[in-house]
Chains A and B, each alone.
Chain A
Amino acid sequence: MQFFGGSEISPSPPTPTVSGNNAHMMYVFNRNGVCLLYREWNRPLHTLNAQQDHKLMFGLLFSLKSLTAKMDPTSAERGNLGVPQLPGQGCSFHSFRTNTYKLSFMESPSGIKIILITHPKTGDLRESLKYIYNLYVEYVMKNPLYTPGTPIRSDLFNTTLDQYVRSIA
């Protein structure tokens, strides 16, 4: 299965769906649930401390993944609820919306999870998340000094990401 095409960054990023800066925050988790990156642009409300917040977010997505696999009306064969899913397996869930935010989610075959939280009126961000994944591959994974599984401390990645997120949302 070809997942995201080549590793080259596509020359033109996907076109923005809504203009104006309305991205709230972004998380990147690896397959073990370690938060590799947390960026925050506009978040007035903090209900928990940072570590608890990351854990809750990872837990929510973990459970939503098995919930969506279980609820899938098109397939008669379903996994058992609560059994951990393999990375990239049966993950058909890509976004949810509440009255105050929209969460878009992408998981790579290697289990990297990218979560972007934006304004509820934002359109489909699947292509944008793929582009962010490409940025991650280019600026983080191809960096020889980066040890996989550690938090990302790359200024180049952060500035490019900020720029791109500002342009999409």
Chain B
Amino acid sequence: MAAICSLYIINKSGGLIYYKDYGSGGRMDTNDSLRVASLWHSMHAISQQLSPTTGCYGIELLEADTFDLHCFQSLTGTKFFVVCEPGTQQMESLLKVIYELYTDYVLKNPFYEMEMPIRCELFDINLSQVVQKDRVVLLGR
């Protein structure tokens, strides 16, 4: 079974700009994925308000019985989050790699409009390669 179940990228205002499913129990339909993404955006913001100390940047890891959710927020407010099996390691580095791919193949694409859904072939190809590689590493352990 795949270690990574799905990947979401949301822009700084909470709109879903990329969603990819890697074999979980049925793909979410478009409306639901959009709602989940914007709900996550607000949960992330509320968690900063409830912090007992200053300097909180929001939820990094959410743990449930059946999955873990790792979230990475870039400096410009774009959030990347993956849903994976509980206890999967090295998701932070995977998210950083995905962020690098995003900057290389999406932001440097002259036809890409900021904050709009991502439709870049090169990004898709490289992303699936990275996820495949990650799976092989996980299987090899």
Instruction: Give the CA-CA distance A24 to B6 in the complex, in Å.
Output: 33
Whether B83 contacts A71 by the Cβ 8 Å rule is yes
Number of interface residues of B (CB under 8 A): 37
- Which segment, of B52-60, B98-106, B127-135, faces chain A? B52-60
Chain B interface main SS type: mixed
Q: Which residues of A contact B (CB under 8 A)?
A: 24-25, 42-45, 47-48, 53, 56-57, 59-60, 63-64, 67-68, 70-76, 81-82, 92-101, 103, 117
Whether B64 contacts A94 by the Cβ 8 Å rule is yes
Instruction: Give the CA-CA distance A132 to B39 in the complex, in Å.
Output: 30
Say how far A32's CB is from chain B's closest CB, in angstroms: 20
A–B pairs, 17, beta carbons within 8 Å: A56-B46, A60-B46, A64-B62, A67-B40, A74-B25, A81-B36, A92-B65, A92-B66, A94-B65, A95-B62, A96-B61, A97-B60, A97-B63, A98-B48, A98-B51, A98-B59, A99-B57
Say how far B41's CB is from chain A's closest CB, in angstroms: 11
Pick the contact of B43 from A60, A70, A73, A92 — CB < 8 Å?
A60
Whether B67 contacts A99 by the Cβ 8 Å rule is no
Closest to A60 in B: B46
Closest to B54 in A: A45
Say how far B96's CB is from chain A's closest CB, in angstroms: 15
| Max chain B Cβ within 10 angstroms of own Cβ: one of A76, A81, A92, A100 | A100
Instruction: Give the CA-CA distance A67 to B33 in the complex, in Å.
Output: 11
Whether B53 contacts A93 by the Cβ 8 Å rule is no
Residues of chain B with a CB closer than 8 A to A56's CB: 46, 49-50
Residues of chain B with a CB closer than 8 A to A67's CB: 36, 39-40, 43
Q: Which B residues, 19 to 34, have Cβ-Cβ distances below 8 Å to chain A? A: 24-26, 28, 32
Instruction: Give the CA-CA distance A126 to B120 in the complex, in Å.
Output: 43
